[in-house]
Structure 1
Amino acid sequence: MRGLLVELTRLRWRRAVLLLLVAAVVLPALLLAGTAWSTRPMSESDLDALLVDRYAQREVTRCERRPERFSDERGETIEASMCREMVADWYGGRAPLRPESELDGTVLAAGTLVLALVLLMGTTFVGHDWNTGSMSNQLLFEPRRGRVWATKALAVTLTCLLLATAVLSAYWWGLVTLASARDITVPDGVVGDGYGQALRTGVLAGATALGGYALTMLFRSTVATVGVLFGLAVASGALLGIVGQTTQRWTPPLNVAAVMQGDVTYYDESALTPACRSGTAGPEEDCSAESTITARDGGIYLGSALLLACVASVGSFRRRDVP
């Protein structure tokens, strides 16, 4: 426990880490503010400016006469009082806030942003020890390298997990509260889905920070770690093609999205039979190219990669000389 407190203190006093912590809070807050502004209700003057077109006015008149023939984005019948806003939206008006749509939009964007920042936290935290040569001094006080590795890993993982979960939960709470203040109905189950996504992303953030830490302990360089991860993210599709895999199933970004969102649907024509590809398949044959990656599938994929990185990192740290 004492070693963990020491590492948490060391983490807290890293100025680069503090800047990343602040960014992980401020940037999602700015994103939330931007979402609130871009989805603000239109005033009467805004509606009048958009509905000057005679075709728009005709649509409003038709809607107000027979509102039961029109429906909103959710497929629900609208009231006559909602016709002006609906038609204005067709003609370039601001779309109203839809929390259920934000799960795949700004909530996902905020989660991705936080993941990138905690990755930098994990690699920056221990990269400083290698750059300054303080790692050898730390081993003088605690010569058991396995314990040193584990204590540092636990400190950065817990910090990033709790930070990401708190930030993303607060982001989702802000969206739901904003919708409530604007009298926007949130469908049943959506609120729980949002907090579930925040929790999954928080766990993924802890694993991401651990992965960045493990690779930096392996390469002993922050720059090398960031370069390798950037190369894998950009060239993962090409690398899979070289080894004969054409499916997107094994690309890291898709598996990350699956964990964050709960599941992801992608198109995989490589799994189709020749009859499906040529259009000669019978009606009893399933020729759908859609496949789904669940959060469990993505977690197993990413967890396996993380386990390999940690094993290699611990083995290297215990056996290689420390300058």
Structure 2
Amino acid sequence: MNAYVRLLLVEVRRYLRRRAVQLLMAACVAVPAFIGVVTILNTQPPSDADIAQLERDAEMSRQSELDYCTENPTDWGIEATGEDAAAACAAQIPDADEYADEYGYYDTLRLRDEESNSGVAVASVLAILLLLAGTTFTGHDWNSGSVSNQLLFEPRRTRVWTAKALVATGGALLVAAVVMTAYWAVLGLVAGSRDTLADGDLLHAFQMGWRSAGVAAASALLGFVLTMLFRSTVATIGILLGASVAGSLLLAAVGISERWNPAVNLLALIDNGTTYWSEDACSDEGSEVDGYDGYYDCEEVVTFGDASLYLGSFLLVGGVASFVSFGRRDVP
């Protein structure tokens, strides 16, 4: 067996045996499952008994308003009295079916809608959990001092760094792809059973899930490269938290466009493009919104390619710095 393949297998075993990684992987399954169950329950259509009760309640509500209107027609802007007032009230007050439609509204399970709702939530959770898996995987080696022992068996640091990177990234990609595919497959089956699954919806949702898996894998790689650079899980998490909070505040304070907000670009990666508010777009030369005279669309678009180049540049710089640092710095 090739020496590098053996090194990869060793790193895979080390990755799978990390207690923290095991807990994070379990969370990668449990949290999306919980979100999926809640989504299915919240979009449950009413039963026949619920519909019958709703129709009775709607009829009672309409009759109550009709009686009040007949007794107090002026409160409804009706000047007639007697039978004329009753007829005017009956014409003005919606019928029972309209009451039922108004009070019997419920969310329908549609995959296109869920992509921007529960789908983004699941993708975000996976990205965070797998980023933590990437940083704890290698952070444990630095905390325990086992990196120096590993280099005794494989002194070529390039191989050690790339093997760890491949395992952290590949493991995250596999887990995220399986979880996202299973998530949309289950929702697709439920939507199909409720006759709310349109043509192409399931494939579109799968594609969103696979993009999310790529984002999760990149997040795991980011956690890995920063931990290899700073040699501390705590430092990596602290820097990422500080950057996510302070970075957004700094962009807003300086007046830099939302185009450069990492959160906006992450959403563009997951949703295959997104929009953001831009003052530059709010001009008389902008595109006027149909049906609204004098109102102009103040949104601009971040494409998947734009977001990939922007966020990928940070990952590339961090990766190069981490790789060079590991190859040149002393290992305790």
Same fold (TM over 0.5): yes
* Residue of structure 1 equivalent to 2:229: 218
Structure-2 change in CA distance of 1:103 and 1:200 (3 Å): same
Correspondence list, 1:234-313, <5 A: 234-241=245-252, 244-270=254-280, 272=282, 288-313=297-322
Q: TM-score, length-normalised on structure 1?
A: 0.83
Match of 1:136 among 131, 142, 148: 148
Aligned residue for 1:164, secondary structure, equals: helix
2:58–2:97 contact (8 Å) kept in structure 1: no
Tell me the distance in 2 between the aligned counterparts of 1:299 and 1:168: 20
Confirm whether residue 16 of structure 1 aligns to residue 20 of structure 2.
Answer: yes
Query: Which residue identity is paired with 1:163?
Result: V
Tell me the distance in 1 between the aligned counterparts of 2:102 and 2:295: 37
Match of 1:198 among 201, 206, 209: 209
Q: TM-score, length-normalised on structure 2?
A: 0.81
Aligned residue for 1:292, secondary structure, equals: strand
Confirm whether residue 101 of structure 1 aligns to residue 110 of structure 2.
Answer: no
1:89–1:95 contact (8 Å) kept in structure 2: no
Correspondence list, 1:41-80, <5 A: 41-51=45-55, 52-54=57-59
Q: Unpaired runs of 5+ in structure 2?
A: 64-94, 287-293
1:99–1:176 contact (8 Å) kept in structure 2: yes
Tell me the distance in 1 between the aligned counterparts of 2:211 and 2:259: 20
Shift of 1:131: 0.8
Report how many aligned residue pairs link the two structures.
289
Query: Which residue identity is paired with 1:22?
Result: A
Aligned residue for 1:187, secondary structure, equals: coil
Q: Unpaired runs of 5+ in structure 1?
A: 59-82, 278-284
* Residue of structure 1 equivalent to 2:8: 4
Shift of 1:191: 1.8
Tell me the distance in 2 between the aligned counterparts of 1:113 and 1:315: 31
Shift of 1:271: 5.2
Correspondence list, 1:86-165, <5 A: 88=100, 90-91=102-103, 93-165=105-177
Tell me the distance in 2 between the aligned counterparts of 1:289 and 1:112: 27
Structure-2 change in CA distance of 1:55 and 1:104 (3 Å): farther
1:247–1:270 contact (8 Å) kept in structure 2: no
1:47–1:84 contact (8 Å) kept in structure 2: no
* Residue of structure 1 equivalent to 2:180: 168
1:157–1:209 contact (8 Å) kept in structure 2: yes
Larger of the two Rg values belongs to structure: 2
